[in-house]
Amino acid sequence: MRRMLLLLVVILTAGCGGSFSTQCPAQNMEITVIHVRPDCVRAAMTTMLINQGYILRSTSDTQIVAGKATEYSKSTRWLKRLLYDNPPEKRVTLLFIPVDSMDNVRIVWNAEYVYEANTATEEVEPIASTPEDESQFMAMLPLIEKNCHQPSN
Backbone φ/ψ region at 12: left (φ over 0), alpha (ψ -120 to 50), beta: alpha
**pTM here?**
0.73
Every domain of the chain and the residues it spans: 19-147
What is the chain's pLDDT, residue by residue, as a tens digit (153 residues)?
545 544 444 444 444 433 333 334 456 899 999 999 999 999 999 999 999 999 999 999 999 999 998 865 555 555 555 666 677 889 999 999 999 887 899 999 999 988 878 788 888 888 888 888 899 899 999 999 899 987 665
pLDDT of residue 120: 83
Whole-number Å distance between alpha carbons of 70 and 35:
36
CATH match of 19-147 with 3.40.190.10 = no
Whole-number Å distance between alpha carbons of 131 and 66:
19
Pure H helices in the chain: 2-14, 38-51, 78-83, 131-147
pLDDT of residue 18: 35
pLDDT of residue 72: 59
DSSP 95-135: EEEEESEEEEEEEEEEEEEEETTTSTT-EEEEEPPPHHHHH
pLDDT of residue 53: 92
Instruction: Report yes or no: 123 and 151 within 8 Å, Cβ to Cβ.
Output: no
